[in-house]
Structure 1
Amino acid sequence: MPKMKSHRGACKRFKKTASGRVKREKMYGSHNLEKKNRKRTRRIHQSTLVDKTQEKQIKRMILA
């Protein structure tokens, strides 16, 4: 049986934390930042954890 391949797009977007949760970046942070207020752009650039309902699927994609 061949090796399992990880989902390359998911590997670029998600990281596994030391405690085993999955970390992700927030959306809307790449362009048109001059329209968004400073408080919003600060919050956009903070990373957050993936919801527990999707964590199992993402771990399977990144083979974590």
Structure 2
Amino acid sequence: MPKLKTKSGAKKRFKITASGKVKYQQSGKRHGMIKRTTKQIREHRGTNVLFKTDGDNIKKYFLPNG
């Protein structure tokens, strides 16, 4: 049986924490900042954790390693 590979798109976008949750980078920070309020820019800083059910779906892409 061949090796199971991680989806390369998922490994670029998500990280799995030590407790098994899935972290992701928040969207909406690449361009067009002039249209967004300061509050929106501030709230989209850093990373977030996915809801459990969404995280479980993403973990299927990390089968051998997640």
TM-score, normalised via structure 1 length: 0.87
Deviation beyond 2 Å, 4+ runs, structure 1 = none
* Identity fraction in percent: 39
How many residue pairs match? The answer is 64
What do you get for the CA RMSD once the two structures are aligned?
Answer: 1.1
- Deviations for 1:3-28, whole angstroms, at most 9, x for unmatched residues? 00111001100001122100011111
* Cα drift, residue 41 of structure 1: 0.5
Structure 1 residues 15-46: Cα deviation after superposition (integer angstroms, max 9, x where no partner): 01122100011111111012111111011123
Give me the TM-score of the superposition, normalised by structure 2.
0.85
Structure 2, gaps ≥5 residues long: none
Give distance in 1, aligned partners of 2:18 and 2:42.
24
Give the equivalent residue in structure 2 for 1:5.
5
2:61 maps to 61
Alignment partner of 1:40: what SS?
A: helix
> What is residue 35 of structure 1 aligned with on the other side?
35
